Structure 1
Amino acid sequence: MRKEILLSFRIGAAFIGTVIGAGYASGQEIMQFFTVFGPYGFITVILSGLMFFIAANSILNISDQLKAYDYKDFVSKLCGKKIGFLYDSMITLFLFLGTSIMFSGSCEVFKAFFKIPKIAGILIICLLTLLAVFKSLEGLLNVNSIIVPVISSVVIFTSFMIFKDGNISLALDNMDANSNISAFKPFFFMLFYCSYNLILSLGVLSAFPKDIKNKNVLRLGAFIGGFGLMVLAFLLNSLIFMHMPQILDESMPMLYITKYFHPYFKYALALCIWGEIFSTAVSDVFSLGNRIAGKKKYSYKAICTLIVFLSIPLSLFDFKSLVAFFYPLFGALSMFLMVYIVFKGSGKHNIA
């Protein structure tokens, strides 16, 4: 029983680690999708946790029923070959692009906080990513079993230090700031945020039922992941909300919030942000390697090595304009697939 619960926690941690990258850990992602909508942001944060759980559980159910253990088989068997090919190509593109962006983000953190040259920062994360993904699913679980609790501890500690001084009243004072916003826009942004992150988590989530056959373990893992994401987002949203509107211009809200903490704390926070970049890079490479290697047609380790090396040249460029164009497009297209997954996976529909 204890082993099953521990496995569920590892599954939940892997799900959380796949979703929260540098934007999440720094607070920027939470600020853009939730905090700017005032009191509605707190409601949609709670709804996002429910959405994550329902959708993740649906993915696990469908993967198990269809025996589809990578995102290619998953979308192909669920949506048909033509639509499946479209989503397969799109997910592959964005996972590869995401890997390059994570590598680029890694070297930026190293350069800004630890004065490590850019190329050295890239090589460090490339080597560590390969060491992790070579162990396949076990490596993914091990990485997130360490990184996610550390990130969670930092967020909880920061919240405690801020809340204990009675600063929570600042959040309450800001509640009326955006109360006149239409409820549709915050809900749409929440749906966009969940859909985008869940589709990019598809490669990781669909792989679990291949080796883990206990449905209760999988369901509990989905719940832990969804609940954990909701709690972390709620705490981050509260922290950022206390510092509105001055914090809106900050690229890394968490560094702004903790600027009066002990000087060493910013290095701990930087390592946490890097850790989330690393966990996302591991998830992306694992998903791509698992999809391309397929049914042992190609060497999984060789494919992962090739993916990492091909990502290095792209990581040397600035991707801001590219991301600004493609990510919203991918998020919008992801909504249709996510709604369909929830519909087919949470009900008693014949999907076999």
Structure 2
Amino acid sequence: MRRNIHVLQIAFTYIGTIVGAGFATGQEILQFFTRFGSLATATIMLATAIFIWLGTRLMLIAHEISAHSYEDVNLHLFGPKAGKWISWITLVILLGVNSVMLAGSGSVFMEHLHLNYQTGLLLTLLCTFLLLRKGMHAILQMNSILVPVMMLLSFLMIISTLNTPNYDNFIVIKTDHHPLAVWLAPVLYTSFNLSMAQAVLVPLGSQTASKSTIRWGGVLGGIGVGIMLMAAHFAMSAQMPGIQQFEIPMGNVAVQLGIAVQTVYMIMIFLEIFSTFVADIYGLTLQLQKYVSVSPRIITLFIMLVCFLISQFGFSSLLSLLYPIFGMVSVFWAGVLIYYGHKGHPLTPFNRRNGILTGRLKQTTYKR
């Protein structure tokens, strides 16, 4: 029973990490899938398979090398020089992505809760700082509550959409986009999300004792992501093309469920953004602790300040500009993960020769 609970915790944390601002609000799904019409169903299935395969592989590598942060995995995959560069690029991308998520929380407050944009930003930052005092344990517990509720709301949206006149749009809408763009989208999407999720999945895999638990958690987590992708795509397709005008398209979909469910769903969108933001800030703090000998709280405050400043540009503008660029960079990272996942551990002689990543690293907590 204890093992099964841990499997579910890993699966829910995996889902909660992927379901960030772009996913929960619907903007990511709209950009990478729904706008491609009927072909999106097939591309979502492809994305689900990639999430199951590479997400599990990433956690297993982290477990096998006892990685302390995502840089250890990058050193393992790319070697000492390239690994350092990849880690710094990842750091920059994570800062950008977290800024998008923070902007997403402000948009939820402004567009659906009718509060000030800055209020959403500041409340998210304050709650993040307080929650991070408990480290990975708090992240696991938070996602164990939020993700099941989000999945339940996703199923309610499917049922509600079946009663709309255009429920079959997801299979009848055609696309004018080039097939290369259509089929490249799920590759960009999964590569980007997994490269960003490594800030959480690496310490999660490293701190899990059983490989079997990791595998089952990765499989269930990938399937869960696919189900939520399909549910959101199905619901938004029924309101195409008008839904593209909204900052929070999934919030507009929730309107059809009634004011009570809509309010709950908007709160859940905020909490999902919040949970991913917390997890990524935790991963960034672990990474920067290796280079800066100051209190992790000071590091966290600095990271949050940078995200706050970038988030002033707005949610949809940041997402549409940064995500495709970051997706292209992430494809290279995912390609190397696929290659070394297939070849096994070709860098083991390097690790042994240079004395890195060979011992069991001491697990650290956020609080000093």
TM over 0.5: yes
The amino acid of 1:143's aligned partner reads: M
1:223 matched to 2:206:
no
1:288-323 deviations in whole A, cap 9, x for unaligned?
A: 011112399553344223322443333334365555
**Is the CA contact (8 Å cut-off) linking 1:35 and 1:240 kept in structure 2?**
yes
1:82 matched to 2:78:
no
Kindly report which structure 2 residues correspond to 1:227-266, keeping only aligned pairs within 5 A, or say none: 227-266=223-262
**Partners of 2:107 and 2:294 in 1: CA distance:** 33
1:58-87 deviations in whole A, cap 9, x for unaligned?
A: 112222233323111211221022321222
Of stretches 246-255 and 138-147 in structure 1, the one that deviates more from structure 2 is 246-255
TM-score of the two chains, using structure 2 as the length reference: 0.86
**Is the CA contact (8 Å cut-off) linking 2:170 and 2:234 kept in structure 1?**
no
1:211 matched to 2:207:
yes
SS across alignment from 2:257: coil
Of stretches 237-246 and 191-200 in structure 1, the one that deviates more from structure 2 is 237-246
- Cα 1:317–1:253, aligned 2, differ >3 Å: closer, same or farther? closer
SS across alignment from 1:175: helix
- Cα 1:225–1:296, aligned 2, differ >3 Å: closer, same or farther? farther
Of stretches 140-149 and 105-114 in structure 1, the one that deviates more from structure 2 is 105-114
Q: Which residue of 2 aligns with 1:274?
A: 270
SS across alignment from 2:206: helix
**Is the CA contact (8 Å cut-off) linking 1:155 and 1:236 kept in structure 2?**
yes
1:142 matched to 2:138:
no
**Partners of 2:236 and 2:113 in 1: CA distance:** 26
**Partners of 1:137 and 1:175 in 2: CA distance:** 41
TM-score of the two chains, using structure 1 as the length reference: 0.90
Note the residue ranges of structure 2 that are not aligned, 5 or more in a row.
Answer: 349-368
The amino acid of 2:135's aligned partner reads: S
Q: CA RMSD in A?
A: 2.4
Note the residue ranges of structure 1 that are not aligned, 5 or more in a row.
Answer: none
Q: Which residue of 2 aligns with 1:197?
A: 193
**Partners of 1:74 and 1:117 in 2: CA distance:** 40
Q: Count matched residues.
A: 348
**Partners of 1:260 and 1:34 in 2: CA distance:** 22
Q: Once the 2 structures are TM-superposed, how far is the Cα of residue 284 of structure 1 from its aligned partner? A: 1.5
- Cα 1:348–1:74, aligned 2, differ >3 Å: closer, same or farther? closer
**Is the CA contact (8 Å cut-off) linking 2:44 and 2:186 kept in structure 1?**
yes
- Cα 1:250–1:302, aligned 2, differ >3 Å: closer, same or farther? closer
The amino acid of 1:74's aligned partner reads: V
SS across alignment from 2:255: coil
- Cα 1:4–1:106, aligned 2, differ >3 Å: closer, same or farther? same
Q: Which residue of 2 aligns with 1:16?
A: 15
Q: Which residue of 2 aligns with 1:3?
A: 2
**Partners of 1:114 and 1:322 in 2: CA distance:** 21
SS across alignment from 2:344: coil
SS across alignment from 1:135: helix
Kindly report which structure 2 residues correspond to 1:168-187, keeping only aligned pairs within 5 A, or say none: 170-172=166-168, 175-178=171-174, 183-187=179-183
**Partners of 1:212 and 1:49 in 2: CA distance:** 23
